[in-house]
Structure 1
């Protein structure tokens, strides 16, 4: 996919340059052949018309989170723009904790494999559960609450970025619950962004969907300062886990109408604050939620391995219970929804749970993103070909009288 983007870009440039010079040569030769005498130049300097600007679209991102215990050899990096290795854990004093040597070993192997495919690797800090047990919230909240521990956390993350040759950091603070939390998160994001961007590294942030899956109303218990999003490259919207809204209901994991409300909320918010919607990345689940809570979640891969026909469903009975998930058709609708609304791409939680082969949800999204990119660039290419035809029939330079 990435090689096709590169080939299209190179072709694009050659066509433009060829058209530019052919226009000049065509104009000059016509003047000589017809022996046309140009009017004497005035005392004014000739004014050159600007060459037409080549408009190109950038391919949308496809970001996949992967947990630190996954075997790096099982991931198909070629279809992804970014891998987000999850998680580094903040201590209350600002120290950065990793899940032992095995996690570091997996991270290093993942960096090597991903970079061979031109896929960026970022490190997520935070998550829902902490390495020391319980929610990560209190640890993260305390670490960013004062300048001393906040600076220590930033320095620790940057040390890992540089030592492990990473491409950036992903902030996964789940979730700011007060105005003070939001203020501290903004300060942390702004400072970390400044350092990362000065080193040509990226910063993304995972955010709560902000929409109640049952009522469709905006959730006010999670608070963000919108100005914070100006400092990040990608905003990864966790548009799933709606089953916990109100009474537990597995069917509310991530249905399409829920996602429509989420896309509308974030698109409107960014437009209101003058922030590019291309920063927005729509997240989708590749796991299935059981109606019977005493049974564990199932991976999308397990659903497909049980019966490949399940790829075109969103609900299946298996292991004595009914599971709800997103199949191929729903993922296609969600990808189209995001791209049509100007979002910058798609996000996956979690790569290790995806199926392989033609039923892979990663492959489904990658194909749609590539087709969208090619379609847009073919449109711009046709516009420039038309321009070059016109430019070939007139001079590039005029003299003002």
Structure 2
């Protein structure tokens, strides 16, 4: 998915904390609440997404650097998803749906349909472009779009690549999980990543509680799609992310609602490299970002060409009549540094206090 902000944030970030397990606390892991901001996904009837990463107070969870959560979206009202060919550098895109279908075409010669419960991962390498359109049969779109920053050793060396994987259902007392990246609850994904990562959908029954073993060198984020959720006793609102830093060996999730909850659980080792994110580019310096933009605007071979894109506005054009997405104007200043906080949950994030709550006495 493209970042279609006309004035995208400048994000320069790296983790500034050690990877010891000093954050372990006998009473449970501290939790930081990361709230979402709404972003229109282009067009006069814009489909709205809820973005939790990146933002000024935290830009990375492991190598996860971008989290968009959308839907359930009525396609008849919004027009659905129609993102014309757009570029990426230095990252992997991870598409995961709860409802609907999306047609993916990229300049690596790959085509695929993103379906619920099936992960599609695209590796940009030094440069790629792709298009994303909801299919004609889709009436409701609902899911998440995630980006992973590639380490310096892989961002130019890794070729353009596309992987599709259908994870099996892993059951536990009180729910089930679909592990699409990494390892959790004894289930492991074969999808290749270039830093240690975790990605899973967790479905938690009504009034259920589960304690999950987790990797203590990972920081974790729990995105709530539905349910009345507590993470380590801290309430995590719908569309927000509950963040736990390194050091925890178990995490406890509880659904206080009578109906089932749906969650996206991500994690990874703190990403030690400094990166700059702007629009759809991940680089290392301001000069690189300027170069990427110039090369995309000039339609050079670095990003290749998407063959076969048909937008909702007709052959080879989206609903706004664009056959490709031009890059926004760069700011007139050098991209400003923005350090990611150390991999430990803080008492306040996004304007919300995130303090450990007391369990209900009569539960």
TM-score interval, normalised by the smaller of the two chains = under 0.3
- Give 1 or 2: higher strand fraction: 2
- Give 1 or 2: higher helix fraction: 1
* TM-score, normalising length: structure 1: 0.24
* TM-score, normalising length: structure 2: 0.26
The structure with more radius of gyration:
1
